[in-house]
Amino acid sequence: MNTPLDSYLAGVDAMANKAGREYGPFVNVEHCHGVLLEEIAEYFDEVRKKEHRHDPEQLCFEAIDIGAVAFRFLKQCDVEEDEILEWVEDKILNSPYPHRPQHCYYSMLISVAIAVPDPDQGPSALRTILAIAGAAYIASVAMETLRKEATAP
């Protein structure tokens, strides 16, 4: 059975590969930072709506985009793909990441602020962003499921 985590990781991998083919590698860490901030801003466009107006599909799409940016740059920095995925899966399944889109947004912003100025913390912060985006994806899937159950006859 395909879990939301499996769907998130597959979406991130597919989007990272697509973006890599279309745009090539990041020029430097500042380029990655700018693209990451742009994707987080798009996520926030959906998050800042009143909660009952959130579009879970759009939140999932934006979470995948955020994860794909972090994933691409980590791979570009020669971090092994299996290591990235194993770390992210462990963090999502075993850590108390926020489960509301607004809280995920704030957590991602904090991690972005850490990722760029300190090169030693960059990879760890990017893995954290990838995990938080995964938590956001899973929360959005749960939100959609709850809405469907609430409106089912």
* Domain around 78: 4-151
Out of 35-44, 58-67, 79-88, which region has the weakest mean confidence (pLDDT)? Answer: 79-88
List % helix, strand, coil for the chain (3-state, nearest 5): 80, 0, 20
Q: Is the pTM of this model over 0.85?
A: no
Question: With pLDDT > 90 as the criterion, what percentage of the chain qualifies?
Answer: 10
φ, ψ for residue 27, nearest 5 deg: -70, -40
User: How far lies 20's CA from each of 66, 73, 143, in Å?
Assistant: 14, 10, 31
Q: Which of 100, 20, 98 is nearest to 111 (CA)?
A: 98
What distance in Å separates the CA atoms of residue 23 and residue 59, rounded to the nearest whole number?
23
Domain count, the chain: 1
